[in-house]
A and B are shown apart, each in its own frame.
Chain A
Amino acid sequence: MAVKQMQYIIIGASAAGMAAAEAIRRLDSEGSVTVLSDEQDMPYFRPMLPFIVSGKKKFPEMMLIGQGPYRGANIDVRINSRVEAVNTADQKVSIKSGEELPYDKLLIATGSVPNIPSDIAGVEAEGVFVLRTIADACAMAHRAETARHAVMLGGGLLNLKAAFALLERGMDVTLIVKSPEVLSKLMEPDDTVLIRNALNKAGLKLVTGSSVTRILSDSSGVIGVLLDSGREIPCQMVCIGKGIRANVEFLDKSGILVNQGVVVDKFTRSNIQNVFAAGDVAVTLDPIAGERIVTGLWTNAAEMGSCAGRNMAGQPGIYSGTFGILNAAQVADEPFVSMGIVHTKGTAYEIHITATPETYRKLVFTPDGTRLVGALFIGDISKAGLYRYIIREMMPIKDIKSEIVNHRLHYGHFLR
């Protein structure tokens, strides 16, 4: 008897969706794999959007298929195909055009959408951006051709990258954060000295402890912002980077359980049979902090997507979760890595900090000092992967603790 050909439908063509498609293809060469995207363009490496804003790269240079592990062989990617609803009873999805597609296995990988705070007035003005899609990036780059001054709302990593992209274009850029420092999700204010210096050196103007209440505009679009302090900053464009939320509205009547994001078990399955979820849209577990989290990170999404793909193709695998914080980046001349638990103020964690004029290292151990739970490296990030491995595997560290603290750790220490 011939085995029935499986129909896999994947909603979302970014990291999680495409990684899942590749994983399915590796295990099942017969089934049909269809990836539905609501964007106008073929899949691309989303984290590279700042390079479109700066003008340093063109869109073809950031296309996904054919690069890295993404072959795209025999994977049907349909752009302009926003999914409007999922009918889990009949196992069908309806797309914008009215077409209905049946599925045997469905993956929700719709990612996240930018969070726009409701307490900012005037966000609909021309020249107000969020950086999420290639269309957003192109629009920003276009506005930047004539704008002289940009104001960035929010001090997260993506907004910092966007800020640098605009600085590279020669614009004046002011970043406004409510927190006392930038990158407050990835480090504590006391940890940011080197980053802060690098930002200053790069010419970024920073306003901390402030928020924007109103975006001012006229017929030309944005002309300035009004701060809660009453101060006005003239500008011609505004970029909002105030976090993300899971893109789940279309699941309203599907019966799929949503709590901040799609709730999944350790096999990436939702509460409904044959429906899986991965990436920013899924709620996952941080095994270190023991919390349920929604990450917003390409690397995590790709890993979870691969795992979901294998589960969908009938090879069960456990997704062990990820750290809520797992970021590597370079801000101006300053590389940094932040992972695991790095916020320690008012906690009993054992902390080791080594600061030099060029480097900063913070290692966070459990209160009894027996396990590494977090690491922040600024300036020198070499061998960071070893530390991630120790944190993730919850390795006993008794014999190598001084190597960890003194940055002498190498792979040889892992060998018995």
Chain B
Amino acid sequence: MSQPKEIFVRLDRCVGCHTCKIACSVEHSRSKNLFQAISEQPAPKNRVYVEWAPPDRKVPILCRHCEDAPCMHACISGAISRTEEGVVITNSDKCIGCWTCVMVCPYGVIGRHMETRKAYRCDRCPDLQVPACVDACPTQALVYRTVAAFSGDVRQDAAREMISGKGS
């Protein structure tokens, strides 16, 4: 079985340009076009967030699709489930807007459609080969890889640093 891919964040690469947020909003708009999306009502919502933390770090944050997802077990209407690809999804038809998921998510990444009283979060762009935020990121701070491939990259980088004498 091929391993599913996940969205990884490389904090050292994020420059805080917020391009990912715009791409996410556009992908989750009705028109899927930036210029039309701007005027849509209700306004399309991004599911990736870029926050600033001292001393001067930019932190992209999005649903981690946790292995033992607290939101899924806490949901009181059975609206949250995991797909075969490992994506934790909220079924809008089943969501009753009780916000229990918002209360238990330790990442703070579940948003609320106030107009329709439904919760939303990253769905990893089911219609795209590569999620919109990853595709849009100009510095590759967001990458879409399997766990094995990503951790392999991290090991290789560490090895290179050690050989060049930068590591200690």
User: Using Cβ atoms and an 8 Å threshold, which residues of chain B touch A410?
Assistant: 49, 51, 53, 59, 61, 108
Tell me if A328 and B103 are in contact (CB < 8 A): yes
User: In this assembly, does B15 line the interface, its C-beta being within 8 Å of a C-beta of chain A?
Assistant: no
A234 to chain B: closest CB distance in Å?
32
The 0/1 profile, CB within 8 Å of B marked 1, for residues 19-62 of chain A is 10000000000000000000000000101100100000000011
Interface size class for chain A?
35 or more
Name the one of A69, A328, A409 contacting B102, with C-beta atoms under 8 angstroms: A328
Chain B residues within an 8 Å CB radius of A45: 76-78
Task: Determine if B73 and A47 form an interchain contact, defined as CB atoms under 8 angstroms apart.
Answer: no
A contact residues around B73 at 8 Å (CB): 19, 68-69, 299, 302-303, 306
How many Å lie between the Cα of A382 and that of B49 in the bound state?
13
Q: Which chain B residues lie closer than 8 Å to A409 at the CB level?
A: 108
**B 66-85 binary contact with A (CB < 8 Å = 1; else 0):** 00001011111111111000
Smallest beta-carbon distance A102→chain B, Å:
30
Inter-chain CA distance A19–B106, complex, in Å, is 21
Tell yes or no: B104 within 8 A of A by CB.
Answer: yes
Contact A385 B53 (CB under 8 A): no
Q: Which of A376-403 contact B (CB under 8 A)?
A: 381-386, 388-389
Report the bound CA distance from A180 to B108 in whole Å: 34
The reply to whether the CB of B32 lies closer than 8 angstroms to some CB of chain A is no
Mark A317-345 against chain B: 1 for CB-CB distance below 8 A, else 0.
00000000011111000010101000000
> Given contacts A45-B76, A69-B73, are A412 and B57 in contact (CB under 8 A)?
yes
Given the known A-B contacts A19-B73, A48-B96, A302-B73, are A68 and B81 also in contact in the complex, defined by CB atoms under 8 Å? yes
Closest chain B residue to A299 by CB distance?
Answer: B74
Docked-complex contact B72 and A337, CB < 8 angstroms:
no
Q: Give the chain B neighbours of A298 by CB distance below 8 A.
A: 76
Quick check: A411 and B76 within 8 Å, CB to CB?
no
Give A292 to B15 CA distance when docked, in angstroms. Answer: 48
In the complex, whether B130 has a CB less than 8 A from a CB of chain A is: no
Apart from A48-B96, A299-B73, A299-B74, what 4 extra A-B contacts exist at CB < 8 Å? A306-B73, A328-B102, A412-B59, A415-B11
Q: Spell out B's residues near A (CB within 8 Å).
A: 11, 49, 51-53, 57, 59, 61, 70, 72-82, 94, 96-100, 102-112, 117
The contact sample of 29 A-B pairs, CB cut-off 8 A, is: A47-B76, A47-B98, A48-B76, A62-B78, A67-B79, A69-B72, A69-B81, A69-B82, A299-B73, A299-B76, A303-B74, A330-B99, A330-B117, A335-B97, A335-B112, A337-B103, A384-B108, A385-B105, A386-B106, A386-B107, A409-B108, A410-B51, A410-B108, A411-B59, A411-B106, A412-B57, A413-B53, A415-B11, A415-B59
Q: Which 7 A-B pairs have the closest CB atoms?
A: A67-B78, A383-B108, A412-B59, A412-B53, A385-B105, A68-B78, A328-B103
